[in-house]
Amino acid sequence: MEYKVISPEYLENVTGGDPEITEELVNIFKSQVPEFIYEMKGLYNKGMWYELGLLAHKAKSSVAVMGMDTTATMLKTFELQAKAGENEDAYMDYINQFASEAGVAVEELALYLNKLK
């Protein structure tokens, strides 16, 4: 199967190919995604840009483990801009892009885990 968002090869390198560790990391990621989105929107609505940048950094680390390079790069840009309070008009677009790509990743990761079993 061709994955659009995740990189199973990268995930396998991180976990050493251990299916139990892979499943644990995937489950952590799946539980973090809704929290990240909720918190990002809350910080956005409060105009707490620096804190939003810190959260983008945290999300970047999570997506990087899943091999989501494009999303990680976008989140790095978001992080730097939010911490500096620059380009505020783009923040909601970044949040929506993260939400969309993370949603696809969750679906792809479910398929990937089923393949491992």
> Domain spans of the chain?
33-116
CA 34/CA 98 separation, integer angstroms: 11
Q: How far apart are CA 56 and CA 43, in angstroms?
A: 11
pLDDT in tens, 25-56: 999 999 999 999 999 999 999 999 999 999 99
Residues 49 and 82 sit within 8 Å (Cβ to Cβ): yes
Tens-digit pLDDT profile for residues 93-106: 999 999 999 999 99
The CA distance from 96 to 100, in Å, is 6
- Band of residue 23 on the pLDDT scale cut at 50, 70, 90: very high
Q: Closest Cα partner for 75 from 67, 64, 84?
A: 64
Q: How many CA atoms lie within 13 A of 23 on its CB side?
A: 8
CA-closest candidate to residue 25, choices 61, 70, 76, 79: 61
What predicted TM-score, i.e. pTM, was given to this entire model?
A: 0.94
Band (pLDDT 50/70/90 cuts) for residue 116 is confident
